[in-house]
Structures are given as C-alpha cells and as structure tokens.
C-alpha cells in the first residue's frame, strides 16, 4: 500500500477539527481499566479491550457530533498514560533500566509501559512534570548520546488501523521531534555539555520511519504537536531554535512516502519560530488563535492548510462564534485551505456539559465542554463555506453568551464596591522586625520549630464517612462528629510526637480547591467534569462563574475546635487565591487579576475570623504560584505583580502577632524567588527533600530574611527517613540560613500517606530537631563580626 507522495496533490476537504479529545472515557473507563490492571484485578487482554472500547467510543462520538468519518478531521489522539511516554516508546527511547520491558519486535505491552511510568523497586519511574502552563503532567524522557532511536513500538499505527477497520479515516497525533527533545532530559551518566537536542538527526530518522508506517497503513494526515515552539523556557537553552525547527521540518517534509503533516503550536504564539516552520513543505499549520494570533506576514500561510484554533481548548465557556469567524475569514485569503479548530487538545476540559443535570440550568447554557466545543468547530467550519447555513445557530449561541452578562451572581455590587475602595494599605503589613517580635512573644516557639503542612492521612474511614454523607446516608451531625473525632486523634498524635505547631489534619477537605469552591458563592461544581491530571489521575475543577462571596466562615469551626483540644499553638490552613484560580475553570469576562482579588477578599475575611477565634498562625497555600507563570518572559512581570498582590490582599489584614505562613510545592525557586519574597509571609515552607536541600543555596543567595521551612521528608514516597538523615538536612539548613529562620517540616501535606510511615517519619523529624537544637545550644557563641 502506498501513501501520498511527498507533495500531496489532492485538495483536503475537511472543514473542522479538534486537536485532541479527553482520553479517560466519559465515565473514566480508561482510568478504571488501567488501575484494575495495576491492582491485578484485570489481565492484559481485558485491559486492552477496555481501552480499545474507549477509543472506539471516542471516534464514534466525534463523528456523531459532526466530524466526518473519511476526511481525517477526527484525531486519533489516545494515550493510555501520557503522550510523551507514547512517543518515547514508539521511538525506542526507553531508559536502559527498563530495557527488559521492550519486546523483540520493539513493542512494549501495557504492563511494561506502566512500569516505565510508575517505576518498580529500585528502578525510579520517569520524572513527571507539568505540561506547559496547564495542570496536566507528562513524563520526562531520558536521552543519552547512545539512545538508539528507531521506529520501535507501532501501537499508534495499530490504533489508527483499528479505527480504519471500524470505518473511520482518522488523523494520528504524535508529539513532534522538536518538542520531544526539548522536553527530554539528559540521561544520568551523560557527559557534561550533552543536551538531548544534539540527537535531532538520529531522532528524525526514527520519525521518518514512523511517518512512513502511518502512510502505509493508509493515513492521509499525521498531526505533529510542537507546543515547545510557544514556550520561552522550553527553548531557553537552545542556541538557535529557529535552526532546530528548520532542520527538523525541512527533513520531515521532504521525506519520501510520508503522509501530509499538520504541525500544531498550541498554548500560545510561536512568534518568530513560525517562520522557519512555515518556510518548509509541511502541509498544514494549526495555530492557537486564543492565546496567540495569526502572523502579521500572512504570506507564511500561502499554500498551506491552516487550522485556525479559535475555540478555546482549555476553558469551559461557549465561544463567541461571530468573533471567531472574524478571525478565521481573513485567513481564507492567505491560506490554501482554512479549517475551524480548537486552540489546543480538548484534553483539558470535561466531556459533556449536558450530563451536568445538577448545575443551574442557566449556567449550563453558558458552558461548552469537549462535546459542545466539537459542535462549535463544526458550525464554524460550515459558516466558513456557507455563511447562510448556520445563521440561526450563531444567533442562538450569541444569545446564550449574552445571557451571562446580566445574570444573577455574575456581577455583585457589594463585591465591586469593596474592591474599588481598597487602598494600598490593604496590601501591606508592618515591618517584619515588628511582626517578628510580636509573634515571638505571642507564640513562644523554640528554635527550629516543628510543624506539618496541614493534611494528615486521608484514611479509608474518612473517605467512607464523606461518601456516606454525600449520598445522604448520614446527616450533618453524624458526619461532623466523625470529623471531630478524627481531629481529636490527629491532635493527640501530634502532642504525643511533640510537634510544636499543631494542625487539624484537614479531614473535611475532599480537595484543597474544591472544598473552598463548595463554600464560596460564585463557584459551581460538576458531577462528571473529570479532567486528566496525569496517568490515571483525574481532577474535577470547579467553575468560577461569578463574583466571589463568602457567605459564612469556612474552616473556622474546625480550627477553633482544634484549638479547644490543645494548649499548643494551632495553625489554620487556607488555599491561596492563585491556586484556587489555577485549579478551577475561571470566568473569561474579566482579567484574572480582578478575579484573584475577589477570591483574596473572601480569604481575608476567613483570616480575620480565624484570628478572632484565637488561631495565632494561618497558612495560605500557593502550590500553583509557579504553574500559572506565563510561558513568555514578557508576560511574566504583570502576572507576578497581580499574583503577589492577591496573596497580600488575602493576608495583610492579619495582626502583627498573627504569623502568616505560605506553602509552595516545588523547589525550583529560581524563576519566582522575588515573587516569593514579595508575598511577605512570615514563614515559607517549600519542597526540598527530593532535591537534597539544593534550594538552600538559592535562599542564601537572595538573602531571604524571614522564616523558611525547607522540607526534610519527601512525602511522595512511603519511605521513612532516619533521624540522622533528617538531622543532616537540618545541619545543612542552619549552615546556609541563620538558625532562627529555620523551620522543620515535611515537603508537603500528608493526605496521600498512611499512618504507619507518617508516625515513624514525624517521630524522626522531631528527634532530629531536638538533636540539632542541642548541637546549636552547645556551640560556642561567637560575637557578630
Ligand atoms: N495544606 C495542604 C496539605 O497539607 C497543602 C497541599 C499542597 O501543597 N498541595 O495537604
Ligand atoms: Zn505541597
């Protein structure tokens, strides 16, 4: 069988497409199938069959929503775990420690594939990290000078053939070579100065074989995703990114026997990197016209198929179809063929808003989940060819959007006037020195105070109690009694362990964002709105649709109860405004900064109520502060300004004697260190154990002057660190930072841990703090220079 030649001649007929679709299945069938395999409840064949069922249902669904079966507008964009791992496996880039999972035919079965993703014994899994500025996480390939790239695993081709046999000519989707290498890291043991991009030529040979295999199987188009082209940090270390792009695509677009190539640049604007790509003979370009814009020099689009990504793949609001058409129409003069599309894969949104019968009907009318977005691109594709055909649909869609403007709860005068009346004073606390004295007096903490990040293990008992309460099987009183007994247990344990600052353990929280969303007006929560976070993990982000109001205190009763059970200082934990925004679908009718300020005001009231209830320490978690950092350097200062302001607005109402903590879940301080300093928190806890306290150098370098708790226990693994190991980390900390600034805490919350390792590890943590305190006390006092 032969595919199109290197200069395909027939005119592509497609008019609409999406760059990808959720992979978990409408009822999370793929997630459940994988977890059954891992738990030994299902065998390989049953798991493969379940995943094939999700793929078949997806293709049929996309077809029934209006994408034709035979023009390649339906993507084959499935992944059992992660698309970057898929590319690594397809291209022979499996790390040596997992070489045994690759079969003689180059294939990796689902068990082996899961092993690379999840590790086994001493073989660490591939590192996981965030996919651009989304809440999706991918696995980082490890590339060495000797990685032998080849077209190894043909799973993607088999999936394409499976759809074809079912009657659908789909468009396979693969991570592109430039992004693949830029997202990879050098394998351990690679020589100094080695970077994966140096292997481009070898990798391209494997891509050529892969593309030919798709063409031979009958694929007319293959989509290569190149989001790295829009990201300043992805291309940062590369001397000549334009040259890299040109080299890759000149070669692939001239490769004999290839299918047509659609290259996508989602999540932003490729800027100056569009030109080297467009100058090659690739057949199609998919541009993100939500975050980015069409090139000023439209001659770059000449002769190409251009997928205009006008429907937002990352948010849940109905598109403004008329505005989208105004963006698409001018492209028709410049490109050979214009296709209406989504800005990104629909991986980031839930399946179908029509299933959300529990949502307010009016709100539901404003929303478009994945299926509704497919319908939107189909309408736009039709409108491009026949403007009269969809007039009524456009009118109805505009009316649904307009309905939002004046709807109750969207704009609330009391919120607007409170924000408008804010003065700079609302963002400022007293000088740190003044606060420090007041807090020392109020709290009376020892040197190297010990604490935790807030959550204690979410036991099966807690989950059962919450589920029974959610189903209405147990009433509020019974559920709350249960939570109070849980708090009693956690308090008693902390007292027995000898921790200095106690927490209530957060047993009431299903999720650190959803819990607050459920207790604030302006948010709605879905029943089926699952979105993949990584692998089989899914989250259900709330929808922030209106002005934010806190109808009553949220966490205060739990913290106040805790305080009544102990004489030790109690810390209350809140989720910060940036993190609440980052892990929600946020209204698109006003700047993010304004929405953040509204959330901040609600939290400010919560802080005041905690204070009034006698809680002397309040922690505002901002683990997502870095996640929302814009991809392009020029957009970063404005973001850092409003995100820091939102945190300060939430916390600056606190009295001098109230100690404000913040917690951040990462150790790569570099990019955001000034912002973290700007938060002006009295104490900042960060992740440090996994990087063996490397972060201390950064902290010392910038002269961070307030409290700092570099995590001394990596809570991501059930491993119990020894007292001596923790003491060693503490010694490193007090060597880098004055001891009176140092706090002793784990890397993050303990909700995913079990009690056994939690108790043992905390015992060691407290013992290590005691040991190092004693060493410091015995140290001869040297006069300051
Ligand atoms: N306070 C939260 C907890 O302990 C913080 C979680 C997080 O940083 N992701 O679970
Ligand atoms: Zn954390």
Q: Is the CB of 624 under 6 A from ligand 1?
A: no
State the distance from the centre of ligand 1 to the C-alpha of 440, rounded, in angstroms.
25
Q: Is the pLDDT of residue 489 over 80?
A: yes
Q: How far apart are CA 541 and CA 323, in angstroms?
A: 27
Determine contact, residues 650/607, Cβ cutoff 8 Å.
yes
Protein residue whose Cα sits closest to atom 3 of ligand 1: 749
- 155 three-class SS: helix
Q: What average pLDDT does the chain have? A: 94
Q: How far apart are CA 207 and CA 205, in angstroms?
A: 5
Q: How far apart are CA 785 and CA 782, in angstroms?
A: 9
Return the pLDDT at 782.
60
Q: Which ligand is nearest to the CA of 575?
A: 1
Q: Which ligand is nearest to the CA of 452?
A: 1
Q: Which residues contact 57 (CB under 8 A, 6 or more apart)?
A: 25, 26
Q: Which residues contact 564 (CB under 8 A, 6 or more apart)?
A: none
Burial class (CB in 10 A: 0-12, 13-18, 19+), 6: middle
Structure tokens that stand for 62 in this block: 């996309």
Q: Residue holding tokens 């928190």?
A: 681
Q: Is the CB of 573 under 6 A from ligand 1?
A: yes
Q: How far apart are CA 640 and CA 625, in angstroms?
A: 9
Q: How far apart are CA 318 and CA 363, in angstroms?
A: 11
Strands (E), 589-704: 617-621, 659-664, 683-686
Q: Is the pLDDT of residue 611 over 60?
A: yes
Q: Is the CB of 576 under 6 A from ligand 1?
A: no
Give kind and range of the element (H or E) at residue 53: helix 44-64
Ligand 1 atom nearest to CA at 619: 1
Ligand 1 atom nearest to CA at 452: 4
Q: Is the pLDDT of residue 497 over 70?
A: yes
Residues annotated as catalytic are: 716
pLDDT tens by residue, 738-772: 999 999 999 999 998 999 999 999 999 999 999 99
Q: Is the CB of 663 under 6 A from ligand 1?
A: yes
Per cent of the chain over pLDDT 70 is 97
Q: Residue 276: which of 418, 178, 407 has the closest Cα? A: 178
- 86 three-class SS: helix
Ligand 1 atom nearest to CA at 454: 4
For residues 725-746, give the mean pLDDT.
Answer: 96
Return the pLDDT at 781.
64
Long-range contacts from 717-721, C-beta under 8 angstroms, 24+ separation: 718/753, 718/754, 718/757, 719/757, 720/757, 720/760, 720/761, 720/764, 721/689, 721/761, 721/764, 721/765
Long-range contacts from 696-700, C-beta under 8 angstroms, 24+ separation: 696/732, 696/733, 696/736, 696/737, 697/736, 698/669, 698/670, 698/673, 699/669, 699/736, 699/737, 700/736, 700/737
Protein residue whose Cα sits closest to atom 1 of ligand 1: 454
Q: How far apart are CA 189 and CA 406, in angstroms?
A: 61
Q: Is the pLDDT of residue 3 over 80?
A: no
State the distance from the centre of ligand 2 to the C-alpha of 417, rounded, in angstroms.
34
Q: Which ligand is nearest to the CA of 457?
A: 1
Q: What are the strands of the beta sheet with 571-575, ordered from one edge?
A: 571-575, 617-621, 659-664, 683-686, 707-710
State the distance from the centre of ligand 1 to the C-alpha of 492, rounded, in angstroms.
21
Determine contact, residues 547/590, Cβ cutoff 8 Å.
no
Q: Are strands 137-139 and 128-130 parallel, antiparallel or unpaired?
A: antiparallel
**Phi-psi bin for 629: left (phi > 0), alpha (psi -120 to 50), beta?**
beta
Q: How far apart are CA 619 and CA 607, in angstroms?
A: 9
Q: How far apart are CA 54 and CA 28, in angstroms?
A: 9
- 122 three-class SS: coil
Ligand 1 atom nearest to CA at 575: 1
Q: How far apart are CA 686 and CA 80, in angstroms?
A: 32
Ligand 1 atom nearest to CA at 748: 8
Rounded to the nearest 5 degrees, what angle is found at the Cα of 163, between the Cα atoms of 284 and 379? 55
State the distance from the centre of ligand 2 to the C-alpha of 23, rounded, in angstroms.
27
For residues 357-368, give the mean pLDDT.
Answer: 96
Best of 512, 575, 583, 715 to mutate for ligand 1, by most ligand atoms within 8 A of CB? 512
For residues 400-422, give the mean pLDDT.
Answer: 95
For residues 557-581, give the mean pLDDT.
Answer: 98
Q: Is the CB of 454 under 6 A from ligand 1?
A: yes
Q: Is the CB of 748 under 6 A from ligand 1?
A: yes
Return the pLDDT at 667.
63
Q: Is the CB of 512 under 6 A from ligand 1?
A: yes
Number of neighbours of residue 478 by Cβ within 10 angstroms: 12
Q: Is the pLDDT of residue 420 over 90?
A: yes
State the distance from the centre of ligand 1 to the C-alpha of 617, rounded, in angstroms.
16
Ligand 1 atom nearest to CA at 623: 8
Q: Give 741's DSSP letter.
A: G
Q: Give 634's DSSP letter.
A: G
State the distance from the centre of ligand 1 to the C-alpha of 455, rounded, in angstroms.
6
Ligand 1 atom nearest to CA at 453: 4
Determine contact, residues 585/316, Cβ cutoff 8 Å.
yes
Rounded to the nearest 5 degrees, what angle is found at the Cα of 329, between the Cα atoms of 324 and 335? 120
Q: Is the pLDDT of residue 5 over 50?
A: no
Return the pLDDT at 1.
35
Ligand 1 atom nearest to CA at 749: 4
Q: Is the CB of 751 under 6 A from ligand 1?
A: yes
Protein residue whose Cα sits closest to atom 6 of ligand 1: 749
State the distance from the centre of ligand 1 to the C-alpha of 390, rounded, in angstroms.
48
Residue 785: which pLDDT band, with cuts at 50, 70 and 90? Answer: very low
Q: Are strands 683-686 and 659-664 parallel, antiparallel or unpaired?
A: parallel
Q: Which ligand is nearest to the CA of 576?
A: 1
State the distance from the centre of ligand 2 to the C-alpha of 355, rounded, in angstroms.
33
Q: How far apart are CA 597 and CA 594, in angstroms?
A: 5
For residues 55-81, give the mean pLDDT.
Answer: 97
Q: Is the CB of 749 under 6 A from ligand 1?
A: yes
State the distance from the centre of ligand 1 to the C-alpha of 555, rounded, in angstroms.
14
Best of 573, 574, 627 to mutate for ligand 1, by most ligand atoms within 8 A of CB? 573
Q: Which ligand is nearest to the CA of 624?
A: 1
Best of 452, 455, 619, 751 to mutate for ligand 1, by most ligand atoms within 8 A of CB? 455
pLDDT tens by residue, 632-658: 888 899 999 999 999 999 999 999 999
Determine contact, residues 679/647, Cβ cutoff 8 Å.
yes
Q: Which ligand is nearest to the CA of 503?
A: 1
Protein residue whose Cα sits closest to atom 9 of ligand 1: 623
Q: Is the pLDDT of residue 11 over 60?
A: no
Q: Is the pLDDT of residue 101 over 60?
A: yes
- 547 three-class SS: strand
Q: What is the CA radius of gyration of the chain?
A: 27
Q: Is the pLDDT of residue 6 over 70?
A: no
Residue 99: which pLDDT band, with cuts at 50, 70 and 90? Answer: very high
For residues 415-438, give the mean pLDDT.
Answer: 98
Burial class (CB in 10 A: 0-12, 13-18, 19+), 136: middle
pTM greater than 0.85 = yes
pLDDT tens by residue, 131-149: 998 989 999 999 999 999 9
Using the CB atoms, write b or e for 240-264: b if 16+ within 10 Å.
ebbebbbbbbbbbbebebbbbbbbb
Torsion angles phi and psi, residue 480, rounded to 5:
-65, -35
Protein residue whose Cα sits closest to atom 4 of ligand 1: 749
State the distance from the centre of ligand 2 to the C-alpha of 717, rounded, in angstroms.
14
Q: Is the CB of 465 under 6 A from ligand 1?
A: no
């Amino acid at each position: 069988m032969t595919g199109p030649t290197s200069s395909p001649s027939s005119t592509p007929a497609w008019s609409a497409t999406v760059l990808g679709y959720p992979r978990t299945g409408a009822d999370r069938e793929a997630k459940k199938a994988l977890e059954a395999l891992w738990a030994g409840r299902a065998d390989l064949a049953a798991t493969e069959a379940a995943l094939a069922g999700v793929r078949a249902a997806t293709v049929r669904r996309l077809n029934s929503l209006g994408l034709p079966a035979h023009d390649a507008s339906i993507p084959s964009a499935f992944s059992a775990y992660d698309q970057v791992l898929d590319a690594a496996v397809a291209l022979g880039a499996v790390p040596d420690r997992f070489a045994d999972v690759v079969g003689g035919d180059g294939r990796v079965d689902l068990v082996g594939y899961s092993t690379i993703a999840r590790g086994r014994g001493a073989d660490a899994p591939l590192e996981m990290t965030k996919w651009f500025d989304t809440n999706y996480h991918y696995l980082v390939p490890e590339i060495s000078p000797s990685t032998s790239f080849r077209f190894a695993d043909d799973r993607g081709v088999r999936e394409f053939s499976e759809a074809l046999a079912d009657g659908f000519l789909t468009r396979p989707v693969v991570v592109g070579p430039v992004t693949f290498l830029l997202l990879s890291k050098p394998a351990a043991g690679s020589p100094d100065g080695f970077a994966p991009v140096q292997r481009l030529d070898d990798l391209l040979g494997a891509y050529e074989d892969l593309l030919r295999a798709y063409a031979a199987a009958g694929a007319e188009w293959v989509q290569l995703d190149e989001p790295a082209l829009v990201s300043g940090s992805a291309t940062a270390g590369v001397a000549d990114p334009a040259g890299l792009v040109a080299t890759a695509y000149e070669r692939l677009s001239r490769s004999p026997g290839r299918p047509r190539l659609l290259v996508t640049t989602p999540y932003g604007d490729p800027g100056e990197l569009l030109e080297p790509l467009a100058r090659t003979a690739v057949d199609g370009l998919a541009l993100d016209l939500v975050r980015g814009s069409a090139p000023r020099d439209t001659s770059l689009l000449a002769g190409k198929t251009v997928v205009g990504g006008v429907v937002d793949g990352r948010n849940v609001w109905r598109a403004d179809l008329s505005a989208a058409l105004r963006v698409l129409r001018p492209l028709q003069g410049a490109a050979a063929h214009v296709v209406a599309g989504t800005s990104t894969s629909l991986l980031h949104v839930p399946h179908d808003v029509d299933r959300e019968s529990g949502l307010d009907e009016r709100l539901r009318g404003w929303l478009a989940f994945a299926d509704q977005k497919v319908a939107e691109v189909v309408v736009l594709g039709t409108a491009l060819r026949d403007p009269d055909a969809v007039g009524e649909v456009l009118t109805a869609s505009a009316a649904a959007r307009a309905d939002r403007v004046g709807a109750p709860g969207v704009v609330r005068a009391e919120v607007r006037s409170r924000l408008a009346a804010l003065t700079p004073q609302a963002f400022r606390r007293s000088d740190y020195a003044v606060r420090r004295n007041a807090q020392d007096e109020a709290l009376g903490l020892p040197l190297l105070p010990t604490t935790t990040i807030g959550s204690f293990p979410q036991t099966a008992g807690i989950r059962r109690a919450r589920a029974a309460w959610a189903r209405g099987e147990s009433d509020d009183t019974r559920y709350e009694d249960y939570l109070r007994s849980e708090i009693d247990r956690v308090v008693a344990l902390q007292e027995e362990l000898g921790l200095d600052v106690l927490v209530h353990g957060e047993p009431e929280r299903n999720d650190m964002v959803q819990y607050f969303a459920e207790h604030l007006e302006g948010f709605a929560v879905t029943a089926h709105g699952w979105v993949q976070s990584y692998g089989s993990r899914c989250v259900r982000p709330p929808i922030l649709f209106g002005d934010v109001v806190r109808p009553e205190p949220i966490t205060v009763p739990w913290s106040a109860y805790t305080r009544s059970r102990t004489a030790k200082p109690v810390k209350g934990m809140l989720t910060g405004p940036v993190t609440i925004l980052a892990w929600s679908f946020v209204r698109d009718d006003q700047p993010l900064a304004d929405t953040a300020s509204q959330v901040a005001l609600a939290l400010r009231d919560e802080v005041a109520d905690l204070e009034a209830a006698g809680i002397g320490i309040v922690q505002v978690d901002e683990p997502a502060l870095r996640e929302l950092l814009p991809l392009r350097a020029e957009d970063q200062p404005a973001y850092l300004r409003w995100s820091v302001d939102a945190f300060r607005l939430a916390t600056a109402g606190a009295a001098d004697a109230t100690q404000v903590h913040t917690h951040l879940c990462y150790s790569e301080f570099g990019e955001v260190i000034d912002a973290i300093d700007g938060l002006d928190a009295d104490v900042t806890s960060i992740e440090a154990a996994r990087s063996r306290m490397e972060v201390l150098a950064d902290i010392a370098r910038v002269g961070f002057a307030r409290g700092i708790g570099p995590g001394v226990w990596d809570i991501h693994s059930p491993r119990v660190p020894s007292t001596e190991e923790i003491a060693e980390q503490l010694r490193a900390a007090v060597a880098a930072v004055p001891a009176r600034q140092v706090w002793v805490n784990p890397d993050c919350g303990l909700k995913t841990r079990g009690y056994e390792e939690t108790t043992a590890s905390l015992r060691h943590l407290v013992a290590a703090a005691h040991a190092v305190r004693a060493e410091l006390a015995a140290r001869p006092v040297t006069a300051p220079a």
